[in-house]
């Protein structure tokens, strides 16, 4: 049985037995959601980078200083009035730190009143901090340890002190607050769908399907977080995808179903054909999105790869819901799909003349349209050339406790204390004090170093550990320059002279290595995803130039999206309008995540438009007319789908995390560019210019390519005939 025939029977069967399918979905989704809520979330950010110098330093630290290899946290005390020298404040601090010392896995709590330790009091005696050291890693402790720490500092808060917790344990187990982003996105989607369909019922079906998929996929992500290390950004990204693709995929199928009813098809037949045609395109598009996101493993960074793999669950659930739950709901609704609507809106939705006129205008002036569209994209792309990948303190925003802790430490002790570097020195000879002193002296003399701690030597005398406090913060370019300078200029001559091996590590160095790894692997990811899309489009459209053109235009639209992200977040153009009050570097892994998601999503619109263009072209071989009909027939649906995506992505600007804002804004801009400049200007202009060459395919390649019918119409029997056997209908001669 062919895939088209299988999907036809799947959709028709669900429409004939709708309540059984709906009941099965309700029971399954409720069970998964209940299990997920019961288990809770256990997200952590584990930035292990195989082969990176900072990772090697961390591995060495675990082996030589196991008592120092555990994760740390920071407790910061601030006197809102007076100073911390007040007896009541001092007593509250002592009581609090004593409670912290009793927490599981805590092996050391620094006394801020003791000089030279991992704590301190500011010169004005209004800020103090204590470093809490654990005997386990962040992935072993998880969010529960950070929550226990937050509870343990209650005595100092009750005494009137401001107490904030920070450090790696808190920074990388924190979930960003959504602040109603999902509700805002859904509300905007409801408005767009109602205007597109002109009916409350037709509008409600994609929303209901997407919500069921969202709840199920998030619960699955929660459950998986107890099995493996799932980054804290993953549920937010999964939510974006679940809402965006869930609504869009249902929109495509509902649109095809309504067309079937308008042709006079029975309900079950209209559902079956909608699933066999648009449903097959949804299956293809969803698989493409998932594969593109899985491509994040090309980065060689488990953290980044895991974000894509786990978030892709949302896409898989959305596809499954669209192919099974939605046809059942359509079977329940039947011919009442246009109920509770406005006839005037439905009439407008059916009127496509403006798009046909637009397509013919582009066709009459292809060079002008092509050059104008490329000029706009080139202008938007210009900022990309100044993109600076930066470091990120966790995924949370400025309203989080860790951000407030970092701000207090910077205020009291300078920014460098939030960005310590660990210098792990393997000595050629055990106890070689001269080598340690030479390295320490050279590092301390660097103008970017504020202070350097006394070296700690391992019991066997073969390894020394020094903590380097920079003069600048973790996100400052000067800190990155310091790390590179130590690695490339300061330490190599001393290593040759002393025979020692010095590694620069710590969280700051690890995040810098993350940025460098992403910058190096992004071209590899781009090449892999572009190659995959070329093969898929080659199979679907049996053309050489169509996939080449699609790959080039998609890459251009993503480059333009990168440019707008740089202009807003790095240059600060309009940043205040989206809740960003200062310029920031582009978070290192954001371009990679954006590219994987966007290249997959853009295939939805590419397939939807070009499949219709090819269908018309095969009728009369008229390129201009086929492009005009393709745009006229698909523009409203593509525009509606794009508006839904844009609304969902922009809603996440309400999130407190700068990283989440960056991803949401970038995805929204890219979809806007893709659905406007690319789909209705550049694609028709290039197709008109290429003419018949659009569909050129060498004969030898035609013979070896397997037949793929993405819309499935050639396999379906003529309307009113018996159900399809699964064999393609004979081609007209």
DSSP state letters, 24-88: HHHHHHHHHHHHHHHH----------TT-HHHHHHHHHHHH-GGGSS-EEEEEEE-SSS-TTSHH
Instruction: Give the pLDDT of residue 41.
Output: 77
Q: For the domain 1-43+200-227+238-341, what is the CATH superfamily, name and number?
A: Multidrug efflux transporter AcrB transmembrane domain (1.20.1640.10)
Alpha helices in 365-506 (DSSP H): 366-381, 401-413, 433-444, 477-485, 491-498
Cβ pair 617, 623 in contact under 8 A: yes
Write the CA distances from 27 to 24, 220, 261, integer angstroms: 5, 15, 30
Burial class (CB in 10 A: 0-12, 13-18, 19+), 295: buried
CA distance 612 to 161: 66
Whole-prediction pTM: 0.81
422: β partners:
467, 505
Instruction: Give the pLDDT of residue 732.
Output: 36
Cβ pair 609, 631 in contact under 8 A: yes
Question: Looking at the chain, which residues constitute the CATH 3.30.70.260 domain(s)?
Answer: 53-171
Q: What is the 3-state secondary structure (H, E, C) of 297-320?
A: HHHCCHHHHHHHHHHHHHHHHHHH
How many Cα atoms occupy the beta-carbon half-sphere of 641 within 13 Å? 29
Question: Looking at the chain, which residues constitute the CATH 1.20.1640.10 domain(s)?
Answer: 1-43+200-227+238-341, 352-397+522-703
Q: For the domain 352-397+522-703, what is the CATH superfamily, name and number?
A: Multidrug efflux transporter AcrB transmembrane domain (1.20.1640.10)
Give every residue of the chain whose pLDDT is below 50, as ranges. Answer: 349-351, 393-394, 725-733
Instruction: Domain 53-171: give its CATH code.
Output: 3.30.70.260
Chain position carrying tokens 């999206």: 561
| Residue of 576, 605, 617 whose CA lies nearest to 671 | 605
Instruction: Give the pLDDT of residue 340.
Output: 67
Question: Which of 3.30.1490, 3.30.70, 1.10.10, 3.90.550 is the CATH number of 421-505?
Answer: 3.30.70
């Amino acid at each position: 049985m062919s895939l088209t025939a299988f999907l036809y029977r799947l959709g028709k069967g669900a429409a004939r037995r709708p309540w059984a399918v709906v009941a099965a979905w309700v029971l399954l989704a409720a069970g998964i959601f209940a299990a997920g809520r019961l288990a809770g979330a256990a997200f952590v950010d584990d930035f292990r980078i195989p082969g990176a110098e900072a990772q090697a330093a961390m591995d060495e630290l675990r082996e030589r200083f196991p008592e120092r290899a555990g994760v740390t946290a920071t407790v910061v005390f601030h006197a809102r009035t007076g100073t911390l020298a007040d007896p009541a404040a001092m007593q509250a601090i002592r009581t609090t730190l004593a409670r912290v010392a009793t927490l599981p896995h805590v092996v050391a709590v620094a006394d801020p009143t003791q000089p030279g330790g991992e704590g301190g009091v500011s010169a004005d005696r209004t800020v103090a901090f204590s470093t809490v050291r654990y005997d386990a890693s962040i992935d072993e402790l998880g969010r529960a340890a950070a929550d226990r720490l937050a509870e343990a500092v209650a005595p100092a808060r009750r005494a009137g002190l401001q107490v904030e917790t920070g450090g790696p344990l808190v920074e990388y187990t924190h979930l960003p607050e959504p602040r109603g982003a999902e509700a805002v996105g859904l509300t905007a989607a409801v408005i767009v769908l109602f205007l597109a369909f002109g009916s409350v019922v037709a509008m409600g079906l994609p929303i209901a399907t997407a919500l069921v998929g969202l709840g199920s996929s998030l619960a699955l992500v929660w459950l998986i977080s107890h099995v493996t290390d799932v980054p804290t950004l993953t549920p937010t990204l999964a939510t974006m995808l679940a809402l965006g693709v869930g609504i869009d995929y249902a929109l495509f199928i509902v649109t095809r179903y309504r067309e079937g009813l308008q042709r006079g098809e029975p309900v079950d037949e209209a559902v079956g054909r909608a699933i066999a045609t648009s449903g097959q395109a949804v299956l293809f598009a969803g698989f493409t999105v998932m594969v593109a996101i899985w491509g994040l493993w090309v980065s060689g960074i488990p953290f980044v790869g895991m974000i894509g793999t786990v978030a892709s669950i949302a896409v898989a659930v959305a596809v499954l819901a669209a192919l099974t739950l939605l046809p059942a709901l359509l079977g329940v609704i039947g011919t009442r799909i246009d109920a509770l609507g406005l006839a005037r809106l439905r009439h407008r939705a059916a009127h496509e003349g403006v798009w046909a006129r637009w397509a013919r205008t582009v066709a009459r002036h292809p060079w002008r349209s092509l050059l104008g569209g490329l000029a706009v994209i080139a202008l938007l792309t210009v900022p990309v050339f100044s993109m600076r990948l930066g470091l990120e303190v966790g995924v949370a925003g400025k309203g989080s406790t860790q951000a407030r802790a970092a701000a207090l430490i910077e205020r009291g002790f300078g920014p460098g204390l939030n960005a310590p570097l660990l210098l792990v020195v393997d000595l050629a000879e055990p106890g070689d004090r001269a080598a340690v002193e030479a390295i320490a002296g050279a590092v301390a003399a660097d103008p970017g170093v504020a202070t350097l701690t006394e070296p700690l030597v391992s019991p066997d005398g073969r390894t020394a550990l020094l903590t380097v406090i920079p003069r600048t913060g973790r996100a400052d370019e000067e800190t990155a320059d310091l790390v590179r300078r130590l690695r490339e200029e300061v330490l190599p001559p001393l290593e040759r002279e002393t025979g020692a091996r010095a590694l620069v590590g710590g969280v700051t160095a690890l995040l810098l290595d993350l940025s460098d790894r992403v910058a190096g692997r992004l071209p590899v990811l781009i090449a892999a995803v572009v190659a995959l899309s070329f093969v898929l489009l080659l199979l679907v459209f049996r053309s050489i130039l169509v996939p080449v053109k699609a790959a080039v235009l998609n890459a251009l639209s993503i480059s333009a999206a990168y440019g707008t992200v740089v202009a807003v977040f790095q240059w600060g153009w309009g940043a205040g309008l989206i809740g960003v009050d200062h310029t920031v570097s582009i978070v290192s892994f954001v371009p990679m995540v954006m590219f994987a998601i966007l290249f997959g999503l853009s295939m939805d619109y590419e397939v939807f438009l070009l499949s219709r263009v090819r269908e018309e072209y095969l009728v009369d071989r008229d390129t201009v007319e086929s492009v005009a009909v393709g745009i006229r027939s698909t523009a409203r649906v593509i525009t509606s789908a794009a508006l839904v995506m844009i609304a969902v992505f922009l809603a996440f600007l309400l999130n407190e995390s700068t990283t989440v804002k960056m991803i949401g804004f970038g995805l929204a801009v890219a979809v806007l560019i893709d659905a406007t400049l690319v789909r209705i200007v550049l694609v028709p202009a290039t197709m008109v210019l290429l003419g018949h060459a659009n569909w050129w395919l060498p004969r030898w390649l035609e013979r070896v390519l397997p037949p793929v019918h993405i819309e499935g119409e050639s396999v379906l029997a003529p309307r009113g005939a018996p159900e399809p056997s699964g064999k393609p209908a004979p081609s007209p001669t």
